[in-house]
Structure 1
Amino acid sequence: MSQPIPATGAAAATDEGRLVHLGIGNFARAHTLVATQRAGNWSVSAFTGRSAAMADALNAQGGRYGLIVRGAEGDEVSIVDVIDETYPADDVDALVRLLADPFTAVVTLTITEKGYAAGTDPAVSVPARIALGLKARREAGVTEPIALVSCDNLSGNGEVLRAAVLAATDEETRSWFDDHVDVISSMVDRITPSADDAAGDLVLERTGLPDTVPVVTEPFTEWVLEDRFRGRRPEWEKAGVQFTDDIGQHELRKLRLLNGAHTLMAYAGQLAGCDRVDEAIGHREVRALVERLWDEARSTLPLPPTDLDAYTAALEERFRNPRLADNLIRIAADGSAKLTVRALPVIAERGGPEQAPGEVAAVAAWTAWVTERIRAGEEVKDPRADEIAAAARLDKDAERVTALLALLDVAADDPLVPAVLAQEIRLPRP
């Protein structure tokens, strides 16, 4: 059931605006909402992702939760209390009313890559729900611009969001859109593993808050936003957020170096018997694969070598943090979507699989890992899980790899197919 939305007049007297966040999970609570709290003077309404459980938990705690910043030497614990109300994802009526309210000026999203391809049915699609809210905003005569900000790990995330919303938008709202809606790309970076069982006890001990949904994260944080807001926005600069006219360089650097290494370690690390990122980067053979992947990815980035040296050195330090304990199985989700944007473009830009053995290893680690998981009767979390399972069960390796790579839109006669097949047997094992 929808909760009452605060009256805009009373809220406007103390706040600069309302931010609506869609897809409230660990990452948003450790990153973008922390920056919004530090910016000050903004109201936040949040909507859950797949489950309503987070809404129940946060509302029971008055929107407050513990943030544990887990450094190599110790923990810093604080309370984040920027959320006013959390709604279940399927409360479309509440979202529509919030977006039609002129006090709402910014919408941020962490809905994962597959959330942007959910179609035009508001029952299952976040972009379609936004389209309904924008229609209501237009019909209410609201003239102040509203900004839609994608905070998901995909290149050109603002353009992807724009296309997904417009695909679900009626003709009149589509004509109104450009004059009233800013769609902002952003690059976000903060490793946020699942909280362990002791996290809630630590929050209670340090702060006195009984917390069922604490968040654990690393000291490093980076958020880069396109500087294209016409309307109100939080003063995120106070939290160290960067604004730029060229988001592409920041996106590509993170996508190909951090996310690419994460994807490789998620599969190759588990095949080698590792459970966590720090174990994987400390494994001699897996580390060698990561270094090879970095060398290949660096060659495709238009950035000075000194900048890239500093970035990869910082990545290694982050990966080696033994107290962060980021589980590889968490990072392994949605591989069919991730590899198409993290590994395949580098292989193409390098001139083919012979020139990109590190990226080929990332793809081969995925095909080998999903095959072992499926044949062991275990789950693979992926938007194409059923198709992956069917392909992984094929008896002949050549047919199996061909079918799996077809899910990445790789043709059967592509040289990547035999390259992956050959690389599978070279991957490190326990």
Structure 2
Amino acid sequence: MAKDANETDAPTRREYVKYGAVLTGGLLSGCAGNAPTDSESTTTETNTETANQSGSSGDSETETDATNPYTVSMAPMGEVEFERVPESIFTRLTHLAGMAFALGRGDDVNAMHAPGYYDALWNQFTPRLPGVTLDWKGLYSSWEPSKEKLYELDSDVHLADPAGVSALDSWNADDVEAIGENIAPWFGNYYSDRHATPPEAWTDDYQYYDLWEMFERVAQVFREEARYEALAEIHRRLVETVQEELPPVEARPTAVLIGPSDLEKIYAYKLDTPGFLTAHTRAAGAVGAFGDDVQSGSTVDAETLLDANPDVIFALGGMHPKTSMADIRDGLGGNNVTREVAAVKNDRVYAQGARYQGPILNLFQIEMTAKQLYPDQFGAWPTYAEGPYPEIPEDEQLFDRERVASIIRGNF
């Protein structure tokens, strides 16, 4: 919950609880490590995605809107009350940090998972958004946050799923409740990423959302409904543009998404599973080459990749500045097994960005995936080895960069 607009020297209830808890240590037992436990952390993606930019927070809220209490509803939290529009923003995973970024609030993010990695990755896309920048370097890395740090950050909202946080080894339900009551509410949804089962205590209240349904609710937290609607309209038109031109399923290339850092243990991801991790590949109508015997997020060997024999290979994290697509292509082409894969033989090994994508990255990734899969319909994806998102001729762009940038900047 945000601070009162007119602060006094007298301690507020929140300040009393916060500093009393720090002194007594009653609420702050234990601290957490930073290493992710998800299998994706061993891939070039490093488990999440996030971004931030400088720019106006926009004028979509009135003074009355900004100061009157209001509620926003999302599972698993239910109805969440806010005293005023939050200013400082804690995030854990980058789909939610990316939503703050899209709403012009990226500079207000104070924590995220692997900020150095995702700052670099997001900055591969922002050069195509005029007037939009981001700098998330040096933020608190919050995959498994410590309770002490959350009191220190004193955020106005925790964009994180309380069910997901409660499942961490160093947290329990009482810890989650204490942070929500004494500092600021939780507002997030983690298990929609792949429709996984939440902890048992949360199953009755859980609901799955797609990326843009969740974004709509986050926008309500910041009273930025107009900005959400403007971006959602761009997304709707982009998806319609792509899906209207898709070839029949039987005529589409087959594809796989892999973390190709080690050809002896290749991380493999499905393209059509439920959840927002596949929001871009499903929108582009991707046809997966892996069968039911390969579970998304599991590892496969080179022989399994050859058995799948995809027409297209997507390299997860291939857009990151420390990843060399030239080296990935050389590695696949130099291996006695993988060089026989159709995608390798036909030079159809392409870079991808991240799976924990916010709305802006989702727009770019739908466009790039459509071009990588269907160059005849949407224009060829440029040969990419390194650097920012390639320049696409204006007549081959599938969404308006300037319009997106102006919405983020609040000038719309």
TM-score using structure 2 length: 0.34
TM-score using structure 1 length: 0.33
Higher relative CO (Cα under 8 Å, sequence separation at least 6) belongs to 2
Instruction: Compare the two structures and name the one with the higher helix fraction.
Output: 1
